[in-house]
Amino acid sequence: MNRPRIGLTLDHDDARRVYELKRAYVDAVLAAGGLPVLLPHERAAAGAYLALLDALVVTGGAFDVPPELYGEAARPVCGPTRPARTAFEKDLLEAALAERLPVLGVCGGMQLMNVVRGGTLHQDLRADLGIEGHEQPPPKDAPSHGVDVAAGTQLAAVLGTGRLPVNSTHHQAVRDPGAGVLVSARAPDGVIEAIEIPDLPFAIGVQWHPEAVLAHEPRHAAIYRALVDAARDLRR
């Protein structure tokens, strides 16, 4: 059986001049029946990359979406940014959504998905809302809190409704959902933990890392299976 081609965006270490990607992303795509395609940051090649793909995963990383992209100045609470990576991912994500390609945004990828639809972010949960507990200490793959999945959503069709244990490695979060963006899960403290774009075949963003936490909660593997299934349907 041919494996749908699933694009995975990469992080980078400028000091060592290397691209990086946690193996869990690749393992999750392979286990779901997809073929991982790694995407270096080259804006001029974004269209050529997209033409190869059946679905896209915008991965997370230890950096923030630049607040300028949602109309704000960066405050001291904002963390480091990756301008070149974010510019490439923004181009790729906007094109993928326009072409109705299946998309999964993970952690910072979810935040960028919201921003490209005109939404905003909390630059820091503690500073903006007085909320802590969303940046767990190691091990980063273990569940640290639950989220409540909203009934009737794409995410609920994939994972079921009710409380789901997740890992948590973020200090930013979606504030105002963008155009056509639906909130599909929240933490008990009200923080938005998942979004989707219901007028597209498959466009889901999750604030946690399902590819990492599935070792403790196997239900999370369904997110990658659903993405690969959507990519396979697109091929047909």
Q: How far apart are CA 126 and CA 28, in angstroms?
A: 32
CA distances to 23, 46, 57, 74, 98 from 37, in Å: 13, 13, 10, 33, 20
Q: How far apart are CA 202 and CA 236, in angstroms?
A: 15
Position 14 scores a pLDDT of 84
Position 135 scores a pLDDT of 94
Q: How many folded domains does the chain comprise?
A: 1
Inter-residue contact 185 to 150 (CB < 8 Å): yes
- Residues that are catalytic: 107, 209, 211
Position 1 scores a pLDDT of 65
Among the residues of the chain, which ranges form H helices?
23-31, 46-52, 83-98, 108-116, 125-129, 154-159, 210-213, 221-235
Compute CA 220 distance to the chain's CA centroid, rounded to the nearest angstrom. Answer: 14
Both structure tokens of 38: 């790694």
Q: pTM of the full predicted structure?
A: 0.97
Domain of 184, in residue numbers: 5-235
Looking at residue 226, its amino acid is A
Q: Which residues of the chain have pLDDT under 70?
A: 1
Neighbour count for residue 83 (Cβ, 10 Å): 10
Q: What is the CATH classification number for the domain harbouring 170?
A: 3.40.50.880
- 3-state class (DSSP) for residue 180: coil
Inter-residue contact 215 to 164 (CB < 8 Å): no
